Structure 1
């Protein structure tokens, strides 16, 4: 029986705080088709979903072709904002995130992964911008999977690493992350500093308030 453990992180709202760029890019997307921009809470409420799913939720009455234009406008605006400000400014790591990743990576039995609603290009730019190359052994992105909370990303992560669900944990800030973990048969750790209210994380095994609490939370789950 393998002693390996798999820890999969969500990105936006969990590892990095990209809400300023998300809100700005979403405003550009709605302005591009001359639709009223949703409230801030509504926009942050869809973080974690793939862009097509997000646009469908935020603009359910818009024709499919219009939503496609909104997706492209969002991507263009988001990338421009990151180019203008730089990754470390536009999507800064949350306090303690880098240290937590370093601590976990130093444990031989622990494999790190990512499951994100970002595109492959978006994740690559983020990893490069923060110098996180080589940290994650499995990286699941929206290009190749159904949107969260479908468990396809986590199934792929477990398949790629050879780690079973009972030895795997998903860490995220949204209800979509928690529901995805449950659908994949994995345990889940919610983080309170992200984009969904703490009460939306009821499906989590535990909710932590800072990265310094992560190691103990993982120990409790694996005990």
Structure 2
């Protein structure tokens, strides 16, 4: 059966890496460190996938931008202090290996920093499986299409041959802005209904169902 997609691009946090709770707690703890009212879990989880500055702007609206550097520093402190406790969702390594064996190009488009993604990839020994990566501190943050446009340019793929997979509306809007089809997963940060609004090809409720769909339809 001919393959539909040459390039499959994954979000990282909440899609491959089970880090949603840690991101929320780290953002809340950073706010407390600065004597601020911490964002609710809903508000903090909504911004997952954005670059850090954009995330802080949405999670703590009205905060003086002069506080962003210190808040970002405290966020990174709390995140990296516990990042070793977080790992890939069950079934992710097998899914990625199966896609590599089918000769898809695999990539990551994430709101993480380059340092954060490189450390996460090293911790879970996943560097060899990805052919390309883009982070929010080296290109435009989601939902701007630049991440996907750069990856498509790198591999010479067309939008209709590129699939974006993510757990947030930012991921799906990124795909829409780049003209690419998308798949949503509900086991990460954003609720089912908010993802349906972007007409994904699939809404997967676990890695096993995502894996099975990709083997049949990608």
Does TM, normalized by the shorter one, top 0.5? yes
Matched, 1:95 2:86: no
Deviation at 1:27, TM superposition (A): 2.1
- 2:152/2:159 contact within 8 Å kept: yes
Deviation at 1:31, TM superposition (A): 1.6
Counterpart among 74, 82, 101 of residue 106 in structure 1: 101
Listed as ranges, the matches of 1:2-21 within 5 Å are 5-21=6-22
- Hey, what's the Cα distance between the residues in 2 that align with 1:61 and 1:68? 15
* Aligned counterpart, 2:24: 23
- Hey, what's the Cα distance between the residues in 1 that align with 2:138 and 2:54? 14
* Aligned counterpart, 2:142: 148
Deviation at 1:94, TM superposition (A): 1.0
TM-score (norm 1): 0.90
* Aligned counterpart, 2:50: 49
Q: Which runs of at least 4 in structure 1 moved beyond 4 Å after TM superposition?
A: 219-222
SS at match of 1:34: coil
Deviation at 1:220, TM superposition (A): 6.4
- 1:28/1:77 contact within 8 Å kept: yes
- Hey, what's the Cα distance between the residues in 2 that align with 1:3 and 1:170? 13
Listed as ranges, the matches of 1:181-220 within 5 Å are 181-202=175-196, 203=198, 204-218=200-214
* Aligned counterpart, 2:72: 71
- 2:20/2:188 contact within 8 Å kept: no
List runs of 5+ in structure 1 lacking aligned partners.
none
- 1:96/1:210 contact within 8 Å kept: no
- 1:150/1:180 contact within 8 Å kept: yes
Question: How many pairs are equivalent?
Answer: 214
SS at match of 2:128: coil
List runs of 5+ in structure 2 lacking aligned partners.
none
- 2:168/2:195 contact within 8 Å kept: yes
Deviation at 1:96, TM superposition (A): 1.1
- 2:8/2:164 contact within 8 Å kept: yes
Matched, 1:125 2:119: yes
